[in-house]
Protein backbone atom coordinates (compact mmCIF):
# COMPACT_ATOMS: atom_id res chain seq x y z
CA UNK A 1 0.00 0.00 0.00
CA UNK A 2 1.49 3.27 -1.12
CA UNK A 3 1.33 5.71 1.76
CA UNK A 4 2.23 8.84 -0.22
CA UNK A 5 0.88 9.26 -3.75
CA UNK A 6 2.72 11.71 -5.98
CA UNK A 7 1.74 13.17 -9.33
CA UNK A 8 2.54 13.77 -12.09
CA UNK A 9 5.23 11.22 -12.87
CA UNK A 10 6.88 13.65 -15.25
CA UNK A 11 6.49 17.34 -15.98
CA UNK A 12 7.80 19.61 -18.71
CA UNK A 13 7.61 23.39 -18.32
CA UNK A 14 9.09 26.35 -20.09
CA UNK A 15 11.66 28.60 -18.49
CA UNK A 16 9.90 31.17 -16.35
CA UNK A 17 6.81 29.04 -15.89
CA UNK A 18 5.33 27.56 -12.72
CA UNK A 19 5.96 23.91 -11.87
CA UNK A 20 3.42 22.21 -9.62
CA UNK A 21 3.83 18.76 -8.09
CA UNK A 22 1.13 17.22 -5.93
CA UNK A 23 1.14 14.64 -3.17
CA UNK A 24 -1.62 12.98 -1.18
CA UNK A 25 -1.49 10.84 1.94
CA UNK A 26 -3.84 8.70 4.02
CA UNK A 27 -2.14 8.38 7.39
CA UNK A 28 -3.44 11.22 9.55
CA UNK A 29 -0.59 10.60 12.00
CA UNK A 30 1.89 12.07 9.51
CA UNK A 31 3.13 15.38 10.81
CA UNK A 32 6.23 16.16 8.81
CA UNK A 33 6.27 16.63 5.06
CA UNK A 34 9.61 17.26 3.34
CA UNK A 35 10.45 17.59 -0.33
CA UNK A 36 13.72 16.24 -1.68
CA UNK A 37 15.45 17.20 -4.92
CA UNK A 38 17.66 14.76 -6.81
CA UNK A 39 20.00 15.48 -9.70
CA UNK A 40 21.23 12.66 -11.97
CA UNK A 41 23.98 10.61 -10.38
CA UNK A 42 23.49 12.20 -6.99
CA UNK A 43 21.63 11.37 -3.82
CA UNK A 44 18.47 13.30 -2.89
CA UNK A 45 18.87 16.49 -0.88
CA UNK A 46 16.31 18.26 1.28
CA UNK A 47 14.69 21.17 -0.54
CA UNK A 48 11.98 22.39 1.82
CA UNK A 49 9.74 20.92 4.54
CA UNK A 50 6.48 21.78 6.28
CA UNK A 51 4.52 20.77 9.35
CA UNK A 52 0.69 20.62 9.35
CA UNK A 53 0.30 23.58 11.69
CA UNK A 54 0.94 25.94 8.78
CA UNK A 55 -0.77 26.04 5.39
CA UNK A 56 2.13 27.42 3.39
CA UNK A 57 5.89 27.73 3.55
CA UNK A 58 8.01 29.66 1.11
CA UNK A 59 11.74 29.58 0.54
CA UNK A 60 12.84 31.66 -2.41
CA UNK A 61 11.13 30.36 -5.55
CA UNK A 62 9.94 27.20 -3.81
CA UNK A 63 6.63 27.04 -1.92
CA UNK A 64 4.88 24.19 -0.15
CA UNK A 65 1.10 24.44 0.13
CA UNK A 66 -0.55 22.18 2.68
CA UNK A 67 -4.23 21.22 2.96
CA UNK A 68 -4.74 19.21 6.11
CA UNK A 69 -8.44 18.51 5.58
CA UNK A 70 -7.82 17.16 2.09
CA UNK A 71 -4.64 15.36 3.17
CA UNK A 72 -2.75 16.90 0.29
CA UNK A 73 0.36 18.97 -0.12
CA UNK A 74 2.07 20.41 -3.13
CA UNK A 75 5.32 21.96 -4.29
CA UNK A 76 5.23 25.08 -6.44
CA UNK A 77 8.35 26.25 -8.24
CA UNK A 78 7.94 29.81 -9.43
CA UNK A 79 9.94 31.22 -12.35
CA UNK A 80 11.22 27.72 -13.17
CA UNK A 81 14.79 27.58 -14.48
CA UNK A 82 16.65 24.93 -16.49
CA UNK A 83 18.79 24.33 -13.40
CA UNK A 84 15.65 23.18 -11.59
CA UNK A 85 15.50 20.15 -13.90
CA UNK A 86 15.69 17.23 -11.49
CA UNK A 87 13.58 14.55 -9.86
CA UNK A 88 11.48 15.70 -6.92
CA UNK A 89 10.23 13.46 -4.14
CA UNK A 90 7.64 14.27 -1.54
CA UNK A 91 7.81 12.38 1.74
CA UNK A 92 6.06 12.05 5.07
CA UNK A 93 6.70 10.77 8.55
CA UNK A 94 5.32 10.86 12.05
CA UNK A 95 7.19 12.55 14.87
CA UNK A 96 7.48 9.35 16.81
CA UNK A 97 8.38 7.32 13.74
CA UNK A 98 10.53 9.71 11.85
CA UNK A 99 13.01 6.90 11.43
CA UNK A 100 10.68 5.64 8.69
CA UNK A 101 10.43 8.46 6.21
CA UNK A 102 8.03 7.37 3.46
CA UNK A 103 8.67 8.71 -0.04
CA UNK A 104 6.43 9.28 -3.03
CA UNK A 105 7.43 7.75 -6.36
CA UNK A 106 8.98 10.94 -7.67
CA UNK A 107 8.38 13.51 -10.41
CA UNK A 108 10.91 14.13 -13.15
CA UNK A 109 10.86 17.84 -13.94
CA UNK A 110 12.31 19.18 -17.17
CA UNK A 111 12.53 22.93 -17.65
CA UNK A 112 13.11 23.89 -21.27
CA UNK A 113 15.16 27.02 -22.01
Partner 1 sequence: NAGVTQTPKFQVLKTGQSMTLQCAQDMNHEYMSWYRQDPGMGLRLIHYSVGAGITDQGEVPNGYNVSRSTTEDFPLRLLSAAPSQTSVYFCASRPHRGDNSPLHFGNGTRLTVT
Binding site for partner 1 (CB under 8 A): 6, 9, 32, 34, 36, 41-46, 49, 89, 93, 95-96, 98-106
Comparison of 62 and 89: residue with beta carbon closer to partner 1: 89
Those residues whose C-beta lies under 8 Å from the C-beta of residue 57, and which sit 6 or more positions away, are: 48, 49, 50, 63, 64, 66
Please report how close the Cβ of residue 16 comes to partner 1 at its closest, in angstroms: 29
Comparison of 40 and 113: residue with beta carbon closer to partner 1: 40
Whether the bond between 8 and the residue before it is cis, its omega within 30 degrees of 0, is yes
Please report how close the Cβ of residue 51 comes to partner 1 at its closest, in angstroms: 8
Could you tell me if 5 and 106 are in contact, meaning their C-beta atoms sit under 8 angstroms apart?
no
First and final C-alpha spacing in the chain? 38
Please report how close the Cβ of residue 99 comes to partner 1 at its closest, in angstroms: 5
Amino acid sequence: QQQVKQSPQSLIVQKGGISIINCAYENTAFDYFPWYQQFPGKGPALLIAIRPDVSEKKEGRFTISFNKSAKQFSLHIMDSQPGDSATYFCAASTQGGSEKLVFGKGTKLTVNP
